[in-house]
Each structure stands twice: as C-alpha cells, then as structure tokens.
A and B are shown apart, each in its own frame.
Chain A
Amino acid sequence: MSAPVLDPTVVGPRATTARPRIPMTRLVDVEFRKLVDTRSSRWLLAAVPLLTLVVVTGVTLWGSDEEVTFGMHTTTNMMPMELLLPLVAVLSVAGEWSQRSALTTFALVPRRGRVLSAKAAALLVATLAATATVLALSAIGTVVAAQVRGIGTVWDLPLELALRLALANVVAVAFGFLVGVAIRSTAPAMVAYLAFMFVVPILSSMVAGMWSWWAENGPWIDLSWSTAFVTAPEITGEQWAQVGTSTLIWIVVPLALATRRVLRTEIR
C-alpha cells in the first residue's frame, strides 16, 4: 500500500462543533471538588472550623463579659478564616501549575477564562459557606458563654455588619486568588501572600509614623488598612471610597493583567 491519499470530500470534517458546550455549572462543580480532593487543601479547609472552634472555646471560657456578645464573638472568630481561606485560593490556582495538572485542565477546557471563572465561583461559594459556619459557631459560643456566666445573651450583630464581615472575607480570598493567578507557583505564591498579610501592615504603620501624608492618605492605597474599616462597627462614606480605590489598586487591576497573561501564556 502506498502513502495514504484521502479524498477530502469523503473525509470531511465532522460536525463536532454542534456538541453542547460544557456548562458553567459543571465546571464550578469540578473546581469545587478540586478544593477538597487533595490532602493539603482538605486540611486547610478543615482547619477553618477547627481553629474557629478553638477560638470560640477560648473566648467563651476566658474572655471578658463584653467579648462574649454575638457581635464581638463573630468578629474575633473570623480571624482564622481570613488567614486560611485565601491560602486555599492561592493553592487552587497555583497548584494547577506547580502540580502541572493545568495541562489536563486546559486540554479539557481550552477556554481558559472559563476555568478561571469557575475557580473564582467555587471559591466564592466556599467563602460564603465558611462565613456561615463561623456565624453558627459564634452563635453557639454566645449562648454557651451566657449560660456559663449566668448573663443575658446579647445578639448585637446587625445584618449590615454581618454582610460587611462576609465582604471582608470575600476580599481576602479574592486577594489570595489574585496572588495564585499572578505567581502560579505554590511556594512563592504562599510566601507572597503571607508577606502581604504580615509585612505590609507593619511597614505601612511605620511609614505612617514618619510621614504625615501617608498617615492621612494611606488607606486610599493600602488594602490591609482600608479593609480594617470594613469589619469595624461603623464605616463612613469616605472609608467605603478608600476600600474601593485600594481594592482597585491591589486586586482589580492586577487581576485583570494577570488573567490576560494566563489566557495567553503557554501551558507546559
């Protein structure tokens, strides 16, 4: 037999583009599953309620009477989550590159933007679920503390503040997501995230001590500074604006640039 010569009219392209596109819900389901199907991400996620439980117990037993109201409880209890959940976000994106599973992921879904959107959606769901869990644990802590101490339960968490706490968590996770998309390598991305969490606020307050302009205008730029307003009992219109500008600088613009890069870069 000689080299194959096929009549193009016989071997025409099959109508494969007529298939239904992979629906977004399925991609979100898969990305959500990826959040919990490895040991590292499962432990990170499990650590949120576990650490919260430790904090709840501690505050319930040893906190002052003012600290065991529902509002105070909740605000304190959000801390483990605000630290850990963004790491889940970092892992969910950077892990695809560090473990090189991106090769399979993007071969099955070549529209990379859809994969990133699905990851973001899965993380949003996880964040809101974790926030609800922390609220529930805080409620239990409030009731138990009141019973143990023989004081009245104080339900002092207005809905508006509860929503703001949830928003602060979403912003923190969005930042973790950005770091993952931008750095795409697990270890450096985690270091970058932790450095931002711990080093930037310290530097910022040092600069504020020496430079009055920064002390006055820092929150317009410093995200860690402005997000502290979000979880405060009261927030002003100007502070909302500062949350907006710093989020734009630290999350929206870099995320747009990093996403553009991911859409174009070669997956190896």
Chain B
Amino acid sequence: MIRIDSLTKRYGTFAAVDDVSFTAFPGRVTGFLGPNGAGKSTTLRALTGLATPTAGRATVLGHRYQDLPNPGLDVGVLLDASALHGGRTGRETLVLSQRTMGLPPIRVDEMLDLVGLTWAEGKRRVRDYSLGMRQRLGIATALMGDPKVLVLDEPANGLDPAGIRWMRDLLRGFADDGGTVLLSSHLLSEIEMIADDIIMIGRGRIVASGATHELLAGVGTLVRSDDGTLLVDALTSAGFQATRRPDGAVATDADLETAGQVAFRAGLPVTELRSADGHGLEDMFLELTAPDQREEAPSRRTSLPNGVAA
C-alpha cells in the first residue's frame, strides 16, 4: 500500500506538486495520469526518497521509504529506464542490484528470462539497448527482490504493442497476487487499459480520482455557472458529490433536474446543464494539456462561444 498525504514540493515559488493526497491499494493497479510536467515524476521521487518533500508525507507499506532497511525487497522501483550506466552490460546491471539486495546469483538469470532478454542480449552493453530493452531491464531490477509494491514511471515508453501487452499482463498478475502497483503515464489510453484506479494530476494538483470504470462511465451531470466554487458548495451541502473541472464546469452525481434545482435555490444562474458524456475523462485530460501549450492560449480565449466567460 502506498499513501501520499498532503504532499507538496516547491522549487522556489513554483509548486511542482501542490497538496497531493491519494492511496494506492494492494491488489489493484493504480494509474497516475497527467500531462508532461504535471508533477507525476516529482511525486514518485518524493515517494522513493530521491527528493525531499517541502511538506506532507509519503509512505510505503506504512513506512517512509528511507526507513526501509532493504527497500529493494519491499518496493520495486523503476523511475527512468534511460537512467542506466551505458558502459555496463545488462547482466552486470542486474548483478549489482542482486548483490546490493543480498539475493542469490540465480535471480539474475531468472529475471532476464522473466523479462524476455536473451543470454546474448544480457551480455551486451546497455548503451546499445533500445528504450524497450531498457524498460525490460528496469522491470527486471524492480521485480528482482520479489517486492509487494511496484512504483513505475512511464513503464510503457518505448515498448512495442506486444511489449505493452506483456507489461499489462505482468502488472495484472502482480496485482492479482495481492501486490500494489502505482504506475504513471501521460497517455490516457494506456492507463485506461491497465489501471483499476486512476489518479489524474495537472499542474501539481489532483483533478480527478476514482475507480477507472466509474471515471470513464462519466455518470452524472455537468452543470455550469458563473461561479463554479459556489456551485460546488451548494451541491455538496445538498449532499451530492461535486468537483469543479479545469474548464469551470462542475461534475456532480446529482441528476439533471436536482442539479438544476440546487443551483436555482442557491441563486446561481445555470449556463449549461447536461448529462456528462462518456468522454468526460478524456475531455478533462485534454483541457489539462491544452493550457500548457502557451502559444495557443490567446487564440483559445477569442474562439470561445459568446457569453461563456471562464
């Protein structure tokens, strides 16, 4: 189990991760989804003791990662498949991890087998590996200590479709055996296929989280008003769940009629009211991504439909 608790990481005044909290449960694959630069990697580095959080706390299996006496045996970590010493052979890379963790030498060959690297490939220098081969080698390092938790940053990068399929089956099996998997990706389609739960992050903050099928079903209502914050307050005090989406619209589990009435009673003019469609998550994700392309921002504003000031 992984628990992230009000984690904040600032660089100067810039908050790369801003008050992020979530839990990754055993037996489930948790997808950590967000555009590049959203704070995924920073969160994972803080979780694995490679970065010190400015505030908040991250624990694995109930402990701070730094307090684990031999972390490789509890947590398999792959943060960047390209971060391997190019001058070592793939096999030697594994031998160093095997020795550090104090495992029997046979584990090295078992892991090469498991990730589908041949004996000849193991003898090659990592410098000559494709990104896909490096991912496999990184997975081998992560799995070697037979951990209960896996933390993987963009593990599908560089894998071919067959490789992605292989990775999916591997992580599925790991979770089905009671393991906890936290993997990040900037591709919704990838996460959709493999994750049981999704944590979506944008500009350092969590914007959506929940079980994948619920998030994708997009059940509920989308209601928009000039003041989204007041609308959220009104809906929550009426006993409904309500979240403000990045575009200002509010998603709620109240049905159409009730949502309209709640807004009316709160004195909030409704500018849009409709059932949330199945693409809610994708819309949200695209909206998260768009403002990061700054040169497009002004033209977006002028092209908005009349009267809809966000």
Residues of A within 8 A of B (CB): 1-4, 6, 11-14, 16-17, 19-22, 26-27, 29-30, 33-34, 37-41, 95, 99-104, 106-111, 264, 266-268
Q: Are B70 and A107 neighbours in the complex by a CB distance under 8 Å?
A: no
User: Which residues on B are within 8 Å of A, measured CB to CB?
Assistant: 1, 25-26, 28, 45, 48-52, 59, 61-63, 65-74, 77, 79-80, 82-88, 92, 95-97, 99-102, 141, 148, 196-197, 210-211, 214
**4 more CB-based (< 8 A) A-B contacts, given A21-B70, A102-B83:** A11-B1, A40-B87, A109-B71, A266-B50
8 tightest A-B CB contacts, nearest first: A13-B62, A38-B87, A100-B83, A110-B49, A267-B50, A266-B51, A99-B85, A103-B83
A-B contact count (CB 8 A): 131
Q: Which of B51, B82, B148 contacts A100 (CB 8 A)?
A: B82
Residues on B with C-beta less than 8 A from A19 are: 68-70, 73-74
Docked CA distance A104–B83 (Å): 8
Per DSSP, chain A at the interface is loop
Q: Give the CA-CA distance A21 to B68 in the complex, in Å.
A: 8
Most buried by B among A27, A37, A108, A109: A108
CA distance A81 to B77 in the complex (A): 39
CB distance from B292 to the nearest CB of A (A): 20
Q: Which residues of B contact A13 (CB under 8 A)?
A: 1, 59, 61-63
Residue of B nearest to A6 (CB): B25
Q: How far is the CB of A266 from chain B (nearest CB, A)?
A: 4
Q: Is A2 in contact with B214, judged by CB distance below 8 angstroms?
A: yes
B73 touches A266 (CB 8 A): no
For this complex, 22 residue pairs linking A to B, each with C-beta atoms less than 8 Å apart, are A3-B197, A3-B210, A13-B63, A14-B74, A14-B148, A16-B61, A16-B63, A17-B69, A19-B69, A22-B100, A33-B95, A41-B87, A99-B84, A99-B86, A103-B80, A104-B84, A104-B97, A108-B72, A110-B65, A266-B52, A267-B51, A268-B50
**In the docked arrangement, what's the CA distance between A103 and B96, Å?**
13
